[in-house]
Homo-oligomer: A and B are copies of this chain.
Amino acid sequence: MSLLTVGSVAFDAIETPFGKTDKIIGGAGTYISISSSFFVKPVRVVAVVGDDFPQEYIKTLQDQGVDTEGLQIKEGEKTFFWAGKYHNDMNSRDTLVTELNVLEHFDPIVPESYQGTEYVMLGNLSPQVQSTVIERLKDRPKLVVMDTMNFWMDIAMEDLKKTISMVDVLSVNDEEARQLSGEYSLKKAAKKIMAMGPKYLIIKKGEHGALLFHEDQIFSAPALPLEEVFDPTGAGDTFAGGFIGYLAKTDDISFENMKKAVIYGSAMASFCVEKFGTERLLEITEKDLEARVQEFHKLTSFDMTF
């Protein structure tokens, strides 16, 4: 099935206890499209970069099967740039630089060839941009999944709630779910958030896995205990890409299949953190992925005959 992803395509500069990078390719749109390209090709992307964005990075995306017709290149402008430094525990980080650049006035143009897309992943961006993309799709997609973050809750809660009301699946982390709902209990938070519109809610818990909610059903996906997290950048976006990619590939949006999509997303994310940036994602094979999914299954399965 056809898949469209929206999100930042950007420069990242990352520092972890293991080393640091110069400006490398990053951004939610990049991680989502690379991750989802393991499941369906082409992956359509709506994003914007400046004329400083190297052709070789665009080629990297194209080589993975990303359709870059919707990638706007703004002459005379600069690409979004983020620099961050992770603390020793890898669970917290300081943002050193955020230069919005081209993202500041991003008008998400949806190419005519993208019309009729069935699966849409709205990566973390301003909720106003996210809702514009939905509005510019003439046919309502079969499934719209949205990722967001606390930043938009702080500065644009009304816009955010409007966009949330338009989507089928919302993905946030545990602290964001609490902030959005005003409830500490994630079960209560999920009820309140689903009452805002989304029929499904994913709550990401980092090293503790993820929860998927739908009506009265809950699925708890583990995270794979890792010896070392080398660089957590992009893990959440890679998760989202694997999730929507698996759904688009199987074209089945039942709760049972969404559980599997959460596991595939988690498996993709577990690769992402093994090296800097997108490096590891560009190496893995389908066999690697299937083996990793088997590990997730082994991790939680227990015999229920008593």
Contact = CB atoms under 8 A, between A and B. Distances in A.
Contacts of A303: 256, 259-260
A220 B301 CA distance: 9
B187 A227 contact: yes
Given A208-B208, A218-B299, A300-B219, A88 B184 contact: yes
Interface in A238-260: 256, 259-260
A228 interface: yes
Contacts of A188: 227-228
A212 to B, nearest CB: 10
**Identical copies in the complex:** 2
Contacts of A90: 184
A258 to B, nearest CB: 10
Nearest to A90: B184
Nearest to A223: B220
A155 interface: no
Nearest to A299: B220
Interface of A: 88-90, 184-188, 190, 205, 207-209, 211, 218-223, 225-229, 256, 259-260, 263, 290, 294, 297, 299-304, 306
29 contacts: A88-B184, A89-B184, A90-B184, A185-B225, A185-B228, A185-B229, A186-B225, A187-B225, A190-B225, A205-B208, A208-B208, A208-B209, A209-B220, A209-B222, A211-B225, A218-B225, A218-B299, A220-B222, A220-B300, A222-B300, A256-B302, A256-B303, A259-B303, A290-B306, A294-B304, A297-B302, A297-B304, A300-B300, A300-B301
9 nearest A-B residue pairs (beta carbon): A220-B222, A208-B208, A259-B302, A187-B225, A300-B300, A220-B299, A187-B227, A297-B304, A220-B300
